Amino acid sequence: MTHDTGAPPELITSLIPVADRSLVRTVDALSDSQYAEASQLPGWTRAHVVAHVTLNAEALAGVLHGAHLGEASTMYASNESRDADIEALAAAGPTEVRDRFLAATSRFADALAAMHEGDWAGRFERTPGGRENPVAAIPLMRLREVEIHHADLDAGYTAADWPDGFRRVLLDSLRSFPSPPFEARPTDLDGTWSYGEGDGGPVVTGTSAAIGWWLTGRGSGEGVTSSTDELPEVEAW
C-alpha cells in the first residue's frame, strides 16, 4: 500500500490531533460492558480494537523516538508477539485498556512533536528483517489507524464522520492497493482516482466515505455502485 498521497506533510500532521481527540471521546464514553461487545472487525471485540490502536501508537512512537536519536528501530519484535500483546491487553480489563490508550496517544503526540526536519530521512522495519517503510510515512500510517479503527469500533462513529481532509488523503493513499484496474469518482469530491494495474476497468461511484470504507475491505459495498454493475474485488486493509 502506498504511503504517497501528494498531500503536504503538514496537512497530514494537522489531522492527527483532530482524529485523536475524536477517538478519545468515543473511548472515554464506552461503558465497561461495551468493551466486551463485538466490533466491526471479525473476531475482535471493541477491547481488541482499542488495544490494537494503543499498541500501534506505542510502536510508532518508539520508531519516531529512535529516528530522533539516530537509532533505527522496529515496530514489533515479531508478528506473533504483536498479536499476543493485543490479546493480553484486550483481556486486561476496560480500565487498563482505557488508561494505556490515553497514555499511548499522548506518547505518540510527544514523539511526533519532538521530530526535527533531519529526523525524517530514514527507514524502519515493521518486524526484524521484514518490510521497510520510510519514517516520513509514520504520520499517515497513524492517521489511518486512528480514523479507520475508530469507525471499526461500531460505537457511533462511522466513515461518514471522517473529516473531508482525511477522506481525500485516504483515497490518495490507497491508489496502489492490489486490485483489478478501475476508476473511482466520488460524488462529493472533485476528481477521479485510478486504482490497480493497467488501464480501463469500471467506474465506481459513491460518496468518498462509502468508497473509502469499501476500499479498505469493509462492508459489502454499501453506497457504492459500478458502471458494470459489479464492484472490483479489493483486499481488506
Look at residue 10 in the predicted model and tell me its pLDDT: 80
In the chain, what are the domains?
9-159 (1.20.120.450), 174-226 (no CATH)
Q: Which three cell numbers stand for residue 199?
A: 488501464
At residue 237 the predicted structure's pLDDT band, cuts being 50, 70 and 90, is: confident
Contact 189, 169 (CB under 8 A): no
pLDDT in tens, 26-71: 999 999 999 999 999 999 999 999 999 999 999 999 999 999 999 9
Look at residue 102 in the predicted model and tell me its pLDDT: 98
Q: What's the pTM value of the predicted model, to 2 decimals?
A: 0.94
Starting at the earlier edge strand, list the strands of the sheet with 225-226: 193-195, 182-186, 203-206, 225-226
The Cα-based distances of 222 to 20, 55, 219 in angstroms read 27, 31, 7
pLDDT in tens, 76-90: 999 999 999 999 999
**3-state DSSP: the chain helix, strand, coil percent, rounded to 5?**
55, 10, 40
Q: pLDDT above 70 covers what percent of the chain?
A: 97
At residue 198 the predicted structure's pLDDT band, cuts being 50, 70 and 90, is: confident
Q: pLDDT above 90 covers what percent of the chain?
A: 87
State residue 194 phi and psi, 5-degree precision. Answer: -100, 140
Contact 49, 149 (CB under 8 A): yes
pLDDT in tens, 110-153: 999 999 999 999 999 999 999 899 999 999 999 999 999 999 99
Look at residue 234 in the predicted model and tell me its pLDDT: 86
At residue 185 the predicted structure's pLDDT band, cuts being 50, 70 and 90, is: very high
Mean pLDDT of 157-176: 94
Look at residue 6 in the predicted model and tell me its pLDDT: 54
Look at residue 197 in the predicted model and tell me its pLDDT: 83
Look at residue 4 in the predicted model and tell me its pLDDT: 53
Q: Which three cell numbers stand for residue 210?
A: 462509502
Dump the DSSP string for 64-93: HHHHHHT----S-S-HHHHHHHHHHHHTT-
How far apart (Å, rounded) are the C-alpha atoms in residues 71 and 144? 25
pLDDT tops 50 at residue 100: yes
